[in-house]
Structure formats: structure tokens, C-alpha cells
Chain A
């Protein structure tokens, strides 16, 4: 079998600059975007619609259902952190993501379009005002 001659292009200055630029962009936005502090509330959204907000200091189990009443997942609040206990999705990545407790952290279950976000109480008030 004849394979076309592969032309190996060496990495040049242009590429190094592009890589460095991307890394700097990533790291800068990393420092600007994350201010980690313990959150107070947890917000659950199902396909962009608010499913409910729950306090993190009260231990409870939340059954998340979609608009037709089909069970999507069970999440558990325990000792100020939330995790997904069981889910009906195919890849179970939401269960592997483990516990979250700081504000801004999310658990996303892509197949079921469930988003669990930890928020501050301030953000909660903003949400109500909107």
C-alpha cells in the first residue's frame, strides 16, 4: 500500500505564541472567575427551568423529576454538601462528580439536562427580584 508522503512541519514561533496566548487567556480567566467561599443554598434546574432551591444546612434527599414526572435523579444534602446519589442517565458522570459545597460549583448531568449549582444567599435574593 502506498501512503502519501507526510510533510512534517516543525513547530514554529507563530505556534508557540498562539499556545502561550491561549494558556495566558485560560489562566487569567481562571483567576478572575473563581472566588470560592462556602455556599448557603443549592439551586436545581431541569432543562433551564428552575426546579427548586434548598438550604445546604438541612440534611435531606431531593427527588428530581422532569415536567412529565419521570424521575431523573436523586440528590442528597448531607453535612453542608450536595451529591447525586443515583441517576437514570447513561454515563453516570453526575454521580462520579462527587460532593460540592462551595458557591459557584456545579454538578451537571448532561443526558438528563439537570444542573445543580451551589449559590450564596445574596444571589438567591437577586434571583427572586428578577
Chain B
């Protein structure tokens, strides 16, 4: 792919990811804790991973956290570091599942697991481990469930994109 095309694609997918993150923020949560999210903004990140490469997915993932923090005014505060830890761990887990040759839903699951693990580590370190541990069972179950759902959605989008070409 030409370099210009790559930059354009990253731009489009990053803004798509931002829109999804915003939609998720304003939607009323139906999960047991309002802090839990379905992870709709992971769909564009997974699309970037498969349409481009891991490097571009890293740009989209960290770019999303950066832009969201600038848009909603929490840049370089505590919550920003929690989010960026989630993004970094999610990318590490995506890289790991690429290395292990996992399928798309499984990669999505690993990504959501990594995201939650990163946030768990930062929250545990700063607010106390017993508080973070209280949420761990729920985090595991929900990241498996919604990671798979998001993975299947991305897979069906990717098959449709491939047929069009």
C-alpha cells in the first residue's frame, strides 16, 4: 500500500474509533457497573490491525486515548494514565495473539483482556489491590463475553470488505 493511503486510512479509522468511544460514553450503561463499556471503539482498532498492520493499530489505539483526553479535558490526569495503560496492554496482548496465530474473535478477546488487565494493574497499584481484586472476576467474565461479541462483529465486517474488493 502507498504511504499516503496508509495515513488516510489511519485518520479515517481513528476518527471512527473516536465516534464510537463518544457514542459509548453517552449511551446509558446496561452493565452492572456504569464504568464497564462494551468496547465498540475496539472495532476500528481491529479493522486497522487486519487492513493495515500492528504499528498502525498502535497509532489508532494510543491516538484514541490521547484525543479523547484532549476532547474531554482529562489530559495528563489520573484517569488518562489508567486509560493509556489499558491501551498499551491491549496492544501488547494483540501482538501476542498475532504471534500465536489466533483467530479474529480470539484476538479481540485478548485485546479486551489486556485492556482490563492494564487498567486493573494501575488501579491496584494506586488505589489498593483489594479494591481492584473485587472487580477481577466480573472483569474476566465480561471481557471474554464482550471481547468475543466485538470480535465476531469485526470478523463479519472484514469478510464483507474483502468481498467488495
B-contacting residues of A (Cβ < 8 Å)? 1-6, 8-12, 15, 18-19, 22-23, 25-27, 29-30, 33, 45, 47-48, 90-91, 93, 96-97, 104, 106, 108, 110-111, 113, 115, 117
Q: Give me 25 A-to-B residue pairs in the complex whose CB atoms sit less than 8 angstroms apart, sorted by A's number.
A: A1-B1, A3-B161, A3-B165, A6-B50, A6-B162, A8-B103, A8-B159, A9-B103, A9-B104, A10-B103, A11-B105, A11-B106, A19-B144, A22-B144, A23-B144, A30-B138, A33-B137, A47-B126, A48-B126, A48-B127, A93-B35, A96-B34, A106-B131, A111-B77, A115-B128
Closest residue to B158 on the A side, CB-wise? A6
Interface residues on B, range: 35 or more
For residue B136, CB closer than 8 A to chain A, the reply is: yes
Scan B13-51; emit 1 where CB is below 8 A from any A CB, else 0.
000000000000100010001110000000000000011
Which of A12, A106, A110 has the largest number of chain B CB atoms within 10 A?
Answer: A110
**A11 surroundings in chain B (CB, below 8 A):** 103, 105-106
A10 to chain B minimum Cβ distance, whole angstroms, is: 6
Which of A5, A9, A45 has the largest number of chain B CB atoms within 10 A?
Answer: A9
Q: How far is the CA of A110 from the CA of B74 in the complex (A)?
A: 12
* A90 lies within 8 A of B79 (CB): yes
Known contacts A90-B79, A96-B34, A117-B131; A110 and B123 CB within 8 A of each other: yes
* A1 lies within 8 A of B109 (CB): no
* B127 lies within 8 A of A19 (CB): no
**A30 surroundings in chain B (CB, below 8 A):** 137-138, 141
Which listed residue (B29, B50, B72, B159) contacts A90, Cβ 8 A? Answer: B72
Q: How far is the CA of A107 from the CA of B96 in the complex (A)?
A: 34
